Structure 1
Amino acid sequence: MDWDGLQYFLMVARHGTLARAGQALQVDATTVSRRVSALERALQQTLFERAPTGFALTAAGRALVPHAEAMAAAASRVDSASEGGAALSGHLRLSVSEGFGSSFIAPRLAGFAAAHPELEIDLVASSGFLNPSRREADMAILLARPRRGPLITRKLADYSLGLYAPADRPDWQAAAEESPLGRAGLPVVGYVPDILYAPELDYLDEIEPGLRATVRSSSILAQRRMIASGAGVGVLPCFLAAEDAALVRVRPDQTISRSFWLALHRDIAPQPRIRAFIDWLDGAVQTHRKLLVP
């Protein structure tokens, strides 16, 4: 497969328009368009839906992304070796929330791991976070920007949450659309209030003032399963729920907005393994930004 064509494809997937992809590649938009069209003809597949607002990946395009990302990482590794550098090795530990780690990073990590087989990667996806300031992790993806510590921090991505109901309960869906949840008598799934590990997760008031969960868990993955199986309605991140056929979003105009923040100890920021992972993570977030913020 033509690597140059995949490189153009990947830049359009990440940046969303021919113009921005061309800027990243330092070529004009016409060249980008021609190379992407040539790749589609070679594969006999449509990789993008074209619209006035930009390019959106088709199912075939989404399936191709991890392969293109793996080839990009491998090409970067070859370039480093040809310049006298060594293959990435050592240990990399990332601390991240359970939902984002399990549902967004884990399914996309294979390409990065395959490109750097000598690198050991720990994905610590759990409720609560390890602390880069105390060297418990190399990096953390947090729900709020840290205020203290010898850290480099920046926003990684915005994401949206919405209200979801079981797909097999149209009566609950209708009730949630037409009246306040409390008045409708619907069970509500949510976090356990007294062991909430981050204030950013206390969002039921943003759905309705005074709304309380009646079926609770400290795990967002458990909450998703409980809602899907009929325990109640509840708030879920869109990246976690949008592709689950057992869930239906209700009140789609009612959206809760949050952000993920990347934090790492400033002493390790220049290390090649750290730079390579952050580049890969930024690329994954850009490519799948419509999943994070539909």
Structure 2
Amino acid sequence: MTPLNLAHLETFLAVVRTGGVRRAAASLNLTQPAVTARIRNLEDVLRCTLFARGPHGMTLTREGERLLRHAESFAHLAERLTQDLIAPGALERHLRIGVSETIAQCWLPDLVARLHATYPQVEIELTVDVSRDLRDRLLAREIDLAILLGPVSDYTVDNLDLPGFDLAWYVAADDSADPETCLRRPVLSYARTTRPYRELKALLMEHVGPEARIFPSSSLSAAFRLVEARLGVAALPRALGAAHVAAGRLREFDPGWVPGPLRFTASWLGEPGNHLAEHAARTARDVAKNWDRDNNIL
């Protein structure tokens, strides 16, 4: 008889948490047949059926529910051992971080440097994407940590608030139009599927009216370039716009109102064994606060 081992329990937990063999295989970097074989091996060792397999997927049997409690205890103990006994430099893991472009243009390099100094053996993979797609990738376990316009409203996800970004209105530096005229031009915005776009659209409807024109863009850097080229105006993060103003490419204008700050969170799956992602999230918060202080944002 094959003895019970932690790999069997880890696979069992992955199937329970992801809701199926396919997603469990992806999260464990295994093939689906390998995951199925481990579950069957575990059932053979325990001499019981752990999952009821039906047309609507896999559900835990009574024995599976009992095993789940023990497996979670084992996972918690393994996490404590990792935290208490293994030196950070000894960890050899892969950390997949997804970030919004706003973060990528600010303090992301500082975060990577800090994580590399703490976990020199951890391979860090970066993805820059819009917040909606980052949320989907986090829930699909394609990334371990998402730094995005949050929070992520899902019971499986833990969210840590990060310092926000105040917005300011920008127009080309050589454009002398008054604020009211500026807002009659195309207004460049974040992507259509984002919260900032929806909020800006509502505010423009209130202050300008139905004739307001919004040009959404998934690229923050492109939005700055388009404003500089006098193709529109935009409400963009002041932390990033300051350099363009100092270089004489853009200027701020004040129509009497501005959209609210961008609110970001560091979000990760709150489950045993995910302490590396949690530590990275807390490091992100520290790095963001330091970046704000060093750039006189606070």
TM-score bin (small chain): 0.5 to 0.7
- Taking the aligned partners of 2:86 and 2:151, their CA distance within structure 1 comes to 37
Which amino acid counterpart does residue 225 of structure 1 have in structure 2? R
After superposing on structure 2, the runs of 4+ consecutive aligned residues of structure 1 that deviate more than 4 Å are 80-84, 290-294
User: Looking at CA atoms only, which structure, 1 or 2, has the larger radius of gyration?
Assistant: 2
1:156 matches 2:158: no
1:147 Cα deviation from its structure 2 partner: 2.2
Deviation track 1:116-154 (CA, whole Å, cap 9, x = no partner) reads 332111221112314323212111123232222411123
User: CA 1:151/1:166 → structure 2, altered by over 3 Å: closer, same or farther?
Assistant: same
- Taking the aligned partners of 1:281 and 1:137, their CA distance within structure 2 comes to 16
Deviation track 1:249-286 (CA, whole Å, cap 9, x = no partner) reads 21186342231122211125752x32442232111111
Which amino acid counterpart does residue 233 of structure 2 have in structure 1? V
Which amino acid counterpart does residue 260 of structure 1 have in structure 2? F
> Given the alignment, which residue of 195, 202, 210 partners 1:199?
195
- Taking the aligned partners of 2:128 and 2:163, their CA distance within structure 1 comes to 17
User: CA 1:131/1:269 → structure 2, altered by over 3 Å: closer, same or farther?
Assistant: farther
> Given the alignment, which residue of 261, 265, 268 partners 2:265?
261
Pairs within 5 Å for 1:3-22: none
- Taking the aligned partners of 1:286 and 1:181, their CA distance within structure 2 comes to 33
- Taking the aligned partners of 1:292 and 1:159, their CA distance within structure 2 comes to 12
Q: Retained in 1: the 8 A contact 2:186–2:232? A: yes
Q: TM-score, normalised by structure 1?
A: 0.58
What is the CA RMSD across the aligned residues, in angstroms? 3.1
Partner in structure 2 of residue 104 of structure 1: 106
Q: Retained in 2: the 8 A contact 1:132–1:138? A: yes
Q: Retained in 1: the 8 A contact 2:169–2:236? A: yes
Partner in structure 1 of residue 13 of structure 2: none
Pairs within 5 Å for 1:1-294: 85-87=87-89, 88-100=91-103, 102-112=104-114, 114-115=116-117, 116-127=119-130, 128-129=133-134, 130-169=136-175, 171-172=176-177, 175-176=178-179, 179=180, 181-182=182-183, 185-191=184-190, 196-202=192-198, 203-206=200-203, 208-210=207-209, 212-213=212-213, 215-244=215-244, 245=247, 246-251=249-254, 254-255=257-258, 256-267=260-271, 270-271=274-275, 273-289=276-292
User: CA 1:187/1:126 → structure 2, altered by over 3 Å: closer, same or farther?
Assistant: same
Could you tell me the percent identity over the aligned residues?
22
Q: Retained in 1: the 8 A contact 2:165–2:237? A: yes
Unpaired runs of 5+ residues, structure 1, are 1-79
Unpaired runs of 5+ residues, structure 2, are 1-81
User: CA 1:110/1:148 → structure 2, altered by over 3 Å: closer, same or farther?
Assistant: closer
Which amino acid counterpart does residue 212 of structure 2 have in structure 1? R
- Match of 1:189, SS? strand
1:114 Cα deviation from its structure 2 partner: 4.3
Equivalent residues, number: 203
Partner in structure 2 of residue 46 of structure 1: none
- Taking the aligned partners of 1:154 and 1:284, their CA distance within structure 2 comes to 13
1:165 Cα deviation from its structure 2 partner: 1.0
Deviation track 1:31-69 (CA, whole Å, cap 9, x = no partner) reads xxxxxxxxxxxxxxxxxxxxxxxxxxxxxxxxxxxxxxx
Q: Retained in 2: the 8 A contact 1:139–1:264? A: yes
User: CA 1:279/1:143 → structure 2, altered by over 3 Å: closer, same or farther?
Assistant: closer
User: CA 1:222/1:239 → structure 2, altered by over 3 Å: closer, same or farther?
Assistant: same
